[in-house]
Structure 1
Amino acid sequence: MSLLFNPPPADGRAQPAPAPAVVPHLVRGDAEAIAIARRLAAHFAPGAARRDRERRLPWDELETFSASGLWGITVPPEYGGAGVSNTTLAEVIAIIAAADGSLGQIPQNHFYALEVLRVGGTPAQRAFFYARALAGERFGNALAEIGHKDFRRRTRLTPDGDGFRIDGKKFYCTGALYAHWIPTLVVAEEAGREVTRLAFVPRTADGVGITDDWDGFGQRVTGSGSVTFENVRVEADWVVPFLASFERPTTIGPFAQLLHAAIDLGIGRGALAATLPFLRDHARPWIDAGVARAADDPLTLHQLGEVQVRLRAAEALVRRAGRATDAAQRAPGEQTVAQASLAVAAARALTTTTSLLAGTRLFELGGTSATLDNQGLDRFWRNARTHTLHDPVRWKYHAVGNFHLNDKLPPRHGAL
């Protein structure tokens, strides 16, 4: 599908994503998933700067991405999927994000929804939605709300016969623009108290409206705009427990954060990959270096080496966090989930600072010519700066420090 097939109307209200054009390839294992990601990244990278510059929504690329089968790789084998490790999933995301930061982020909430189902869904819910994922249907998100200083959610779920109705408005809805289902965080009243649920809403349901109003300076084509729900009907079988899943040790939090770390790692890799040919072919050495090529400037080599070392360290921490999350999924408990959360917090701390460093060094070492608009190199720093604001890195360091100094386990929520 192309942008011409699904153009944004003048008022920004988006049309639903078309049904999957083909049945996706069934990925069989970890090695195949990584090999497919590398092929896709090579295909996506050449057009990334243009998509960013023109804010061209990546419908063609998403259809190719979905058809590859990568959006179904976390479905457990007993439900027909590959059930790849979290280390592999993080590497797949990082590979795609290195080619295009927006494309690397779009499926993040899709995988998050599949993890919420794995943890809190019934066997029937898992079977139904896992089958939809394997059939090529994409899940977006409608989790966050803006306009209030507190974190209280105001999107309501009210009973309606044997189902429910949803009313509310969401923002930062990454992927919803391209989704077939929109997992939505809702508040319901049960037995005199408020409870939080995740409702899987069909994109085509009456009363669902999506506005393509994301205008952040980075991650420009993630579709992270507004979603409104006006008396939207959902079936009872489409509603899954949410906060209840954090009342016990589960991997929902570290899993989500691992994917964010992978996105930042990929953006940093992409920035370094763009820096190398620019230094070889375009940059000038500083006059005091006494060399003919920027590639021989000793201070340039020092700073480039620092980025390389930090990226390799970030990769190691992401792999470590993936293994810890795997272990917690196999045997969820207070200690295993805490160790996964701490490992992911450390990975996020370094991927945040390193992705920003890589984007900054591209300009410092490339010089003024690296800022020219036709180069499109600014997208790496803009994407990293935008995505790393998802939650504050200072609290990642706090979690790690509080554990090692005071033996305090990290809190259980979606940001750790």
Structure 2
Amino acid sequence: MTVQNNKHLEQLVTAVNYEEVAQKFRPVFQKIAEGALDREKNRSLPFEAIQWLKQAGLGAVRVPVQYGGAGLSQQQLFQLLIELATADSNVVQALRGHFAFVEDRLNAHRDQSQEQWFKRFVKGDLVGNAWTETGKIEIGQVGTRITQNTRGELVVNGEKFYSTGTIFADWVDLFVLDETTGEHAIAAISTEHKGVNVADDWDGFGQKTTGSGTLKIDNVSISRDHILPFDQRFRYQTAFYQEVHLVTLAGIAQAAVETFSEEVRQRTRIFSHGNAELVRNDPQILQVIGKASAQAYAAKSVALNVAETLDEAFLSHFQNDESVELKANDQAELESSQGQVVLVELVQTLTTELFNALSASASTTAKQLDRFWRNARVVSSHNPVIYKQKVIGDFVVNGHALPYVWQIGNSPSVKEKEKAA
């Protein structure tokens, strides 16, 4: 897509050599990989790992070069995140909200300078995510609110769960209802405020160290310029969030193949009815590894193809043509949904069948080889794949638009039953 005569886009898009940028981060990724198994075994949050990434400037890789960032495209960003997810998939998910907020600010730069935010990202500031309400909030309702106190100050109060990455972050991308305007909004609040409290109470069986626990907001003051109308949020956000899951799955697949291949390479015990004197030379075992390697290749390819459509959606935002932008966003949403349906099954199958290359000793908790399946299963559970299959089918057969935004909450019928009781 060609976009001409747009000074804002010229500030955002440059030709960047991926290998030059990636080489800067690979030593950090290697250090992160070396500690991943211990963090998994001990459920130790990756504070140190994320600090290394902050210092290296990972949070600013999408920031334009002229503002001090690396200027990567989305496809390059997600290629880099596959490398990081191969080292530790938890770390990528912990940064999911940050990169989405950066993307939103890049889109907002079309209409108003976002230099202040770009400077924060380059300085190393990270943004956590907090959108999901806790408790028995009815679907469609938002309990986290911006109100005006008796002194005329704007304050935020509420509680969220799945506040992924916030425990590591400097800011929170907080979904709220602004009672002063009656509109949904994003409140960008500093985690340094004494009224911001994050609990490490996420207890999932996979992706254990993403910092996805409860966030409580108690009378946190906020200025009007840190309240961002939700209806101005970047359109392809749902596809973007899903793409982070896709590259996380691709990284898990790559890491699983590498780890199981090394286990096969080092294994000396064999079965009497096997096919070779060493497991590494057994054709049936090699078949298992070969199939998994091909599946991991496919997972990466699908994820990077989806990223191309996100770049197209980004460029379309600067066309000032509603029909062009809508078409590009529909395509991004469709392909990210199709990618989800394929990769969810592919990576879970891969991480299960790799155990056929080993034997019962592979189940030892010391090795945590089940972490690849557990992490893939939990990543795959965030956006129900059965509903994605349904909406894709409805789009293909009936031409009905895929939903860009959805919500989760208590069913109204539960409330009606409680009243009747």
TM-score surpassing 0.5?
Answer: yes
1:186 aligns with 2:181: no
Unaligned stretches of 5+ residues in structure 2: 1-14, 318-324, 408-421
CA distance in structure 2 between the partners assigned to 1:313 and 1:92 by the alignment: 17
Find the counterpart in structure 2 of residue 342 from structure 1.
334
Instruction: Name which of 70, 74, 85 aligns with 2:73.
Output: 85
Which residue number in structure 1 is paired with residue 243 of structure 2?
258
Report the 3-state secondary structure (helix = DSSP H, G, I; strand = E; otherwise coil) of the residue aligned with 2:164: coil
Q: Mark the CA change 1:385 to 1:283 in structure 2 (over 3 Å): closer, same or farther.
A: farther
Larger Rg belongs to: 2
- State how 1:121-136 maps to structure 2 within 5 Å: 126-136=114-124
For residues 20 and 252 of structure 2, what CA distance do their matches in structure 1 show?
A: 22
Paired amino acid for 1:76? P
Equivalent residue in structure 2 for 1:360, among 329, 352, 366: 352
TM-superposed deviation, 1:78? 5.2
Structure 2 letter corresponding to 1:171 = F
- Conserved? CA contact 1:174–1:222, under 8 Å: yes
What amino acid is the match of 1:399? V
Cα RMSD for the two superposed structures = 2.4
Deviation at 1:228, TM superposition (A): 0.4
Does the Cα contact within 8 Å between 1:141 and 1:182 map onto a contact in 2? yes
Q: CA deviation at 1:65?
A: 0.9
Residue identity in the other structure for 1:240: L
Q: Which amino acid aligns with 1:59?
A: F
Instruction: Quote the residue 1:153 is aligned against.
Output: 142
Call closer, same or farther: CA 1:87–1:163 in 2, change over 3 Å: farther
Contact 1:253–1:412 (CA<8 Å) still a contact in 2? yes
The letter for the 1-side match of 2:207 is Q
Matches of 2:27 and 2:348 in 1, distance apart? 26
Other structure's SS at 2:143 match: coil
* 1:265 CA drift (Å): 0.9
The answer to whether the 8 A contact 2:275-2:283 is kept is no
1:108 aligned partner, one-letter code: R
Return the match for 2:371 from 359, 379, 388.
379
Q: Select between 174-183 and 68-77 the one with higher mean Cα deviation.
A: 68-77
| Number of positions where the alignment pairs a residue of Structure 1 with one of Structure 2 | 384
- Residue pairs, 1:217-256, within 5 angstroms: 217-245=205-233, 250-256=235-241
Counterparts of residues 12-411 of structure 1 (less than 5 Å): 29-77=17-65, 79-120=67-108, 126-148=114-136, 150-160=139-149, 164-189=154-179, 194-245=182-233, 250-282=235-267, 284-332=269-317, 333-411=325-403
Contact kept? 1:30, 1:85, Cα under 8 Å:
no
Aligned mates of 1:146, 1:125 — CA distance in 2: 35
- Deviation of 1:414 after TM superposition, in Å, equals 6.9
CA distance 1:145–1:262, shift in 2 (3 Å): same
* Contact 2:288–2:354, Cα closer than 8 Å, also in 1: no
Contact 2:107 2:314 in 1 (8 A): no
- In 2, are the aligned partners of 1:155 and 1:186 still within 8 Å (CA)? yes
Instruction: List runs of 5+ in structure 1 lacking aligned partners.
Output: 1-26
**CA distance in structure 1 between the aligned counterparts of 2:402 and 2:276, rounded to whole angstroms:** 51
Contact kept in structure 1, 2:146 and 2:180, CA below 8 Å: no
Q: TM-score, normalised by structure 1?
A: 0.85
